[in-house]
């Protein structure tokens, strides 16, 4: 039904048609480059307009606003910012491998600084850009009407250079996108020559010449698999890594970053590194600054004295844009249709295009030569009859009559007759006559050459090769981007964490932390120590472990369950007085469970065992291999009676002895070999018979030649030779270990040590002391005494405080 000028239509069909028209407009006229000249429409119009203005590389610069206005008014009826942005990008040496516009003024920077306004900057064509416009006036390409049909613009530029691959391209169309990396022109020229000679060659052969993308910002490409995939299929993932080296600044190690991956913002990279250092996700950096200048890029990352430079560099690669991926999608317009192309297909399209350009240029030149030769033939003939010709002209009424008379008299063509009429009298001299004859002879040679060229396509391909060799000689440059045959090394977390001695503490209320061991300096025995952890009311430090950041920590609960954490997974607190992190945020300990033992492990040897002891005197031996992969939800390590609790766990071998100590001062030593190896989820056997009210507080591995250090809750302690503890059978009552009285308080732990070991004690109020087990001056050290003694003061405590944990290392 039609009412007046209104015609109802189906909105679904209208949407389909309109959106398809829009999509094709974006694809063909905006976002995708042409495979022949590698340009999008706006880029092509800018270069053509600049050429039309005579802005060659050796002419004065013109204001950018002048250029933008020319492009907008004649060819590109869109926003001025889109034109200026496109021109700016073509002038940036960090965006284009071979900039096509020579800019003067602020055209932006690798730090993403915006360019100056177009009224301030100036520009002209770069010398290499003129190779895109060579022979454009020789009918080499087709022209089409501009937007208002008042002018014509080229549909493509007669490019001598393979610009699509040379400078790459990126753009998002509708339903598709292109992302083509830049390449080295010298390599592309070699590949073009090889492909002309070997049209059936494969990608591997072409990669002998085109080794990979060549980004203007340099960097290093890791591996060649992504390159091969991109060149074979048109799609692939290329990993680019910043170029950095390790050096020194003021006798301290430093990392110097001199090249960054393509399209990475240097300023944002520096800020990101600073944030990671602040958040302690990257450790070991003491200072960071950007020293880049006109001479080149230089970001200096100074390291702490104890930092491992390679590990810091690995962390930077993993956590920042110092390593990025470039996803190749070589999508371009071929005969107006979007198509994903391989390396060979892109080069083949360019070679065919150059063949066509040379053919059209030769046809144009041949026609011009023949036209000129035709005129020269007439002039030659006229010079032989010059007197008669002059008479005919003098006797003619006007120019038209003279032309007709010449045609009738001498059988000249109209064009020849007109040329004779236009002949200047000075050309009648004998010298000028010879010039005409010489020019005619040269033209005949040129005509013969062009006719021969057009009849032999292989000779045209030879010219394409000559052009490529000429371009390589004129514009070839060394590669900016290195290619490493070694692919990406996926760093594990431990590869990024430096080895460091740390102190891990866990409070009664479940707050855990790790701090560098060197924050606690050595003291003589009897010191008060320094604050190692602030404690809230009703909270106290429960455990202390001296570990390496790469160690595995097994956490045992009172109910016999075990959880596993790598030491570096525990948040690092730079301050020794920080509270730490709730353990429930790291391992899923339930509300009715609490951590009662922590075991530090460096590895899981097949011939080693895990011993677990309970406060009721039970013990169990299990192969350490059963704990190599503790799942995140934990495992059952020991089956316990309801009234019993797991209190200690140690790693041992079959030939060692085990030493258990009780709260009331008893101990027992017996061989590990007396224990039968049992399955993980089973229960234990009797290790020591306890008196009423007593319980096991610690367990350690013993062997002859060592010492036993025993510490009580009131800060008393002593060393005793292990030989004073007789080897017994398990399930006995043991022997006295420490004479417990009110002054000493109950035993906290007995540890097996050597004379060179150190000991750390921590109190319930968070005070920590670090002591050498045996010092050169006996008055400062811990004395060696018998078993049934009270020991000496090893830690001075404030009133109401008590020792809660002992660690040796």
Residue-wise pLDDT for 741-791, tens only, equals: 999 999 999 999 988 888 888 888 878 788 888 776 666 678 899 998 988
Task: Look at residue 567 in the predicted model and tell me its pLDDT.
Answer: 87
Q: Residue 535's Cα: distance from chain center in Å?
A: 43
Angle at 756 between CA 604 and CA 746, to 5 degrees: 80
What is the C-alpha end-to-end distance of the chain, expressed in Å? 95
Q: Give the active site residues.
A: 120
Task: Look at residue 122 in the predicted model and tell me its pLDDT.
Answer: 96
DSSP per residue, 99-166? -SEEEES----TT-PPPPPTTT-EEEE-GGGGGGTTTTTTT-S-EEE-TTSSSEEESS---SS-HHHH
DSSP per residue, 373-404? HHHHHHHHHHHHTHHHHHHHHHTSSSHHHHHH
Asked if 106 contacts 120 with a C-beta cutoff of 8 angstroms, the reply is yes
Where does the pLDDT of residue 263 fall: very low under 50, low under 70, confident under 90, or very high at 90 and above? very high
Asked if 238 contacts 221 with a C-beta cutoff of 8 angstroms, the reply is yes
567: closest CA among 618, 498, 614? 498
Residue 21 is inside which H or E element, if any?
A: helix 11-26
Q: Torsions phi, psi of 248, nearest 5?
A: -135, 145
Residue-wise pLDDT for 74-102, tens only, equals: 998 888 999 999 999 999 999 999 999 99
pTM: predicted TM-score of the whole model, two decimal places: 0.71
Using the 3D structure, point to which of 186, 203, 224 is the last residue of a domain.
Answer: 186
Structural domain tally of the chain?
4
Q: Does one domain contain both 563 and 509?
A: yes
Scanning the structure block, which residue is given the tokens 């169990």?
A: 620
Where does the pLDDT of residue 245 fall: very low under 50, low under 70, confident under 90, or very high at 90 and above? very high
320: closest CA among 377, 372, 260? 260
Q: The domain that contains 102 carries what CATH number?
A: 3.90.199.10
- What is the C-alpha separation between 409 and 424, in angstroms, rounded? 21
> Could you tell me where the beta strands, DSSP code E, fall in 252-317?
252-259, 285-290, 299-303
Task: Look at residue 491 in the predicted model and tell me its pLDDT.
Answer: 61
Residue 705: count other Cβ atoms within 10 Å of its Cβ. 8
- What is the C-alpha separation between 619 and 685, in angstroms, rounded? 5
Token digits of residue 59:
């002419």
Token digits of residue 657:
């002895």
Residue 655: count other Cβ atoms within 10 Å of its Cβ. 9
Token digits of residue 201:
């060659």
Q: The domain that contains 417 carries what CATH number?
A: 1.10.268.10
Asked if 773 contacts 808 with a C-beta cutoff of 8 angstroms, the reply is yes
**Distinct helix (H) and strand (E) counts, the chain:** 17, 42
Residue-wise pLDDT for 671-692, tens only, equals: 999 999 998 888 899 999 999 9
Considering the domain boundaries, does residue 371 fall inside one? yes
Residue 150: count other Cβ atoms within 10 Å of its Cβ. 9
Token digits of residue 568:
């570096």
- For 705-710, what is the mean pLDDT? 92
The alpha-helical segments, DSSP class H, found in 395-492 are: 399-410, 414-421, 430-454, 457-475
Q: Does one domain contain both 65 and 108?
A: yes
Q: At what angle do helices 64-74 and 41-52 cross, to 10 degrees?
A: 110
Residue-wise pLDDT for 640-673, tens only, equals: 988 999 999 999 999 999 999 999 999 999 999 9
Residue-wise pLDDT for 597-613, tens only, equals: 888 989 899 999 999 99
Region of residue 731 (phi > 0: left; psi between -120 and 50: alpha; otherwise: beta): left
Q: Does one domain contain both 655 and 791?
A: yes
Considering the domain boundaries, does residue 123 fall inside one? yes
> Residue 1 pLDDT > 50, yes or no?
no
Task: Look at residue 575 in the predicted model and tell me its pLDDT.
Answer: 54
Task: Look at residue 3 in the predicted model and tell me its pLDDT.
Answer: 54
Residue-wise pLDDT for 278-336, tens only, equals: 887 888 899 999 999 988 999 999 998 777 788 888 889 989 999 999 999 999 999 98
- What is the C-alpha separation between 706 and 683, in angstroms, rounded? 31
31: closest CA among 178, 153, 159, 156? 178
Residue-wise pLDDT for 472-491, tens only, equals: 999 999 999 999 988 766 66
Where does the pLDDT of residue 508 fall: very low under 50, low under 70, confident under 90, or very high at 90 and above? confident
Q: The domain that contains 775 carries what CATH number?
A: 2.120.10.90
User: What DSSP state is assigned to residue 690?
Assistant: P
- What is the C-alpha separation between 542 and 506, in angstroms, rounded? 6
Q: Does one domain contain both 630 and 775?
A: yes
Using the 3D structure, point to which of 186, 203, 227 is the last residue of a domain.
Answer: 186
Task: Look at residue 29 in the predicted model and tell me its pLDDT.
Answer: 61
Region of residue 284 (phi > 0: left; psi between -120 and 50: alpha; otherwise: beta): left
Token digits of residue 709:
């250090």
- What is the C-alpha separation between 105 and 780, in angstroms, rounded? 73
- For 244-259, what is the mean pLDDT? 91
User: What DSSP state is assigned to residue 780?
Assistant: T
Angle at 460 between CA 459 and CA 464, to 5 degrees: 115
Percent helix, strand, coil in the chain (nearest 5)?
30, 25, 40
Task: Look at residue 535 in the predicted model and tell me its pLDDT.
Answer: 44
Asked if 253 contacts 307 with a C-beta cutoff of 8 angstroms, the reply is yes
> Residue 526 pLDDT > 50, yes or no?
no
794: closest CA among 718, 706, 708? 718
% pLDDT > 90, the chain: 57
Task: Give the chain's length.
Answer: 809
Token digits of residue 491:
């760093």
- What is the C-alpha separation between 744 and 713, in angstroms, rounded? 7
Considering the domain boundaries, does residue 3 fall inside one? no
Token digits of residue 251:
């006798």
Where does the pLDDT of residue 522 fall: very low under 50, low under 70, confident under 90, or very high at 90 and above? very low
Strand partners, 652: 609
Residue 803 is inside which H or E element, if any?
A: strand 803-808
Strands 696-702 and 735-736: unpaired
**Domain range holding 363?**
355-475
Q: Does one domain contain both 294 and 391?
A: no
Considering the domain boundaries, does residue 40 fall inside one? yes
- For 681-705, what is the mean pLDDT? 92
Token digits of residue 699:
């367990």
Q: What is the dihedral of CA 375, 380, 381, 386, to 10 degrees?
A: 110
Residue-wise pLDDT for 179-197, tens only, equals: 999 999 999 999 999 999 9
Hey, CA dihedral for 559, 564, 567, 569, is it positive or negative? Answer: negative
Using the 3D structure, point to which of 443, 475, 507 is the last residue of a domain.
Answer: 475
Q: Does one domain contain both 587 and 665?
A: yes
Residue 27: count other Cβ atoms within 10 Å of its Cβ. 20
Q: Does one domain contain both 161 and 88?
A: yes
Strand partners, 623: 609
> Residue 584 pLDDT > 50, yes or no?
yes
Considering the domain boundaries, does residue 789 fall inside one? yes
Q: Does one domain contain both 255 and 126?
A: no
Asked if 738 contacts 747 with a C-beta cutoff of 8 angstroms, the reply is yes
CA distances to 75, 129, 153, 154, 584 from 144, rounded to whole Å, are: 11, 22, 6, 6, 72
- What is the C-alpha separation between 726 and 705, in angstroms, rounded? 13
Q: Does one domain contain both 108 and 28?
A: yes
Q: Residue 557's Cα: distance from chain center in Å?
A: 42
Q: What is the mean pLDDT of the chain?
A: 87
Considering the domain boundaries, does residue 616 fall inside one? yes
Considering the domain boundaries, does residue 338 fall inside one? no
Q: Residue 139's Cα: distance from chain center in Å?
A: 47
- What is the C-alpha separation between 68 and 82, in angstroms, rounded? 9
Where does the pLDDT of residue 418 fall: very low under 50, low under 70, confident under 90, or very high at 90 and above? confident
Q: Which residue has the higher pLDDT, 399 or 67?
A: 67
Q: Does one domain contain both 398 and 523?
A: no
Residue 772: count other Cβ atoms within 10 Å of its Cβ. 18
Q: Does one domain contain both 409 and 552?
A: no
Considering the domain boundaries, does residue 212 fall inside one? no
Task: Look at residue 519 in the predicted model and tell me its pLDDT.
Answer: 61
- What is the C-alpha separation between 373 and 110, in angstroms, rounded? 56
Q: The domain that contains 257 carries what CATH number?
A: 3.30.1360.40
Q: Does one domain contain both 542 and 440?
A: no
């Amino acid at each position: 039904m039609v009412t007046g000028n209104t015609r109802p239509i189906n909105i679904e069909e209208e949407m389909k048609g309109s959106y398809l028209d829009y999509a094709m407009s974006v694809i063909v006229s905006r976002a995708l480059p042409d495979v022949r000249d590698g340009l999008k429409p706006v880029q092509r119009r800018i270069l053509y307009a600049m050429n039309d203005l005579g802005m060659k590389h050796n002419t004065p610069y013109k204001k950018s606003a002048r250029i933008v206005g020319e492009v907008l008014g004649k060819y590109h009826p869109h926003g001025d910012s889109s034109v200026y942005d496109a021109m700016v990008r073509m002038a940036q040496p960090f965006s284009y491998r071979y900039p096509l516009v020579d800019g003067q003024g602020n055209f932006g920077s690798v730090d993403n600084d915006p360019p100056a306004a177009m009224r301030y900057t100036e520009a002209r064509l770069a010398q290499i850009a003129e190779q895109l416009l060579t022979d454009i006036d020789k009918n080499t390409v087709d022209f089409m009407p501009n937007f208002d049909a008042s002018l014509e613009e080229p549909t493509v530029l007669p490019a001598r250079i393979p610009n699509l691959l040379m400078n790459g391209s990126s753009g998002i169309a509708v339903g598709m996108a292109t992302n083509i990396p830049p390449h080295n022109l010298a390599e592309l020229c070699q590949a073009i020559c090889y492909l002309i000679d070997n049209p059936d060659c494969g990608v591997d052969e072409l990669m002998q010449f085109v080794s990979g993308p060549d980004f203007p910002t340099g960097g290093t490409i890791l591996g060649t698999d992504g390159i091969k995939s991109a060149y074979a299929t048109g799609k692939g993932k290329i990993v680019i890594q910043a170029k950095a080296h390790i050096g020194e600044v003021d006798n301290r190690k430093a990392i110097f970053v001199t090249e960054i991956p393509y399209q990475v913002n240097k300023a944002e990279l520096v800020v990101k590194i600073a944030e990671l250092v602040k958040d302690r996700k990257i450790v070991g950096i003491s200072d960071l600054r950007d020293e880049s200048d006109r001479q080149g890029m230089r970001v200096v990352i100074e390291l702490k004295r104890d930092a491992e430079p390679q590990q810091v560099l690995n962390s930077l690669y993993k956590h920042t844009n110092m390593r990025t991926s470039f996803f190749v999608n070589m999508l371009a317009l071929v005969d107006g249709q979007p198509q994903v192309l391989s390396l060979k297909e892109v080069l083949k399209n360019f070679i065919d295009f150059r063949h066509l350009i040379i053919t059209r240029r030769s046809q144009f030149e041949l026609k011009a030569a023949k036209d000129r030769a035709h005129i020269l033939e007439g002039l030659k003939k006229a010079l032989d009859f010059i007197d008669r010709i002059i008479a005919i002209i003098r006797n003619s009424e006007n120019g038209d009559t003279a032309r007709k008379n010449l045609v009738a008299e001498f059988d000249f063509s109209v064009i020849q007759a007109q040329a004779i009429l236009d002949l200047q009298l000075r050309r009648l001299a004998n010298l000028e006559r010879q010039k005409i004859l010489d020019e005619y002879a040269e033209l005949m040679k040129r005509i013969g050459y062009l006719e021969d060229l057009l009849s032999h396509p292989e000779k045209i391909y030879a010219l394409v090769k000559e052009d490529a060799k000429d371009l390589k000689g004129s514009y070839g440059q060394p590669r900016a981007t290195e290619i490493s045959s070694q692919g990406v090394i996926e760093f594990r977390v431990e590869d990024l964490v430096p080895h460091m001695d740390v102190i891990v503490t866990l409070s009664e209320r479940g707050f855990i932390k790790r701090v560098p061991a060197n924050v606690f300096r050595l003291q003589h025995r009897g010191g008060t120590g320094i604050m190692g952890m602030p404690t809230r009311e009703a909270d106290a430090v429960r455990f202390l472990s001296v570990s390496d950041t790469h160690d595995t920590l097994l956490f045992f609960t009172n109910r016999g369950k075990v959880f596993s954490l790598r030491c570096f997974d525990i948040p690092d607190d730079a301050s020794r007085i920080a509270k730490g992190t709730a353990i429930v945020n790291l391992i899923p300990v339930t509300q009715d469970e609490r951590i009662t033992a922590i075991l530090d492990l460096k590895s899981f040897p097949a011939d080693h065992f895990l011993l677990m002891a309970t406060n009721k005197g039970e013990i169990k031996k299990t192969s350490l291999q059963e704990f190599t992969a503790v799942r995140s939800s934990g495992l059952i390590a020991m089956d316990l009676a309801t009234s019993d609790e797991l209190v200690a766990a140690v790693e041992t071998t079959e030939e060692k002895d085990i030493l258990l100590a009780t709260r009331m001062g008893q101990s027992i030593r017996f061989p590990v070999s007396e224990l039968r190896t049992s399955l993980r989820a089973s229960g234990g056997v009797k290790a020591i018979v306890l008196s009423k009210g007593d319980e096991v507080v610690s367990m350690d591995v013993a062997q002859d030649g060592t010492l036993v250090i025993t510490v009580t809750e009131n800060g008393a302690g002593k060393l005793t030779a292990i030989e004073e503890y007789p080897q017994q059978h398990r399930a006995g009552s043991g022997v006295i270990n420490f004479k417990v009285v009110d002054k000493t308080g109950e035993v906290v732990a007995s540890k097996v040590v050597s004379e060179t070991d150190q000991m750390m004690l921590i109190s319930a109020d968070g005070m920590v002391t670090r002591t050498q087990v045996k010092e050169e001056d006996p008055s400062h050290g811990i004395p060696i005494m018998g078993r049934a003694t009270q020991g000496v003061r090893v830690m001075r405590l404030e009133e109401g405080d008590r020792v809660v944990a002992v660690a040796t290392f």
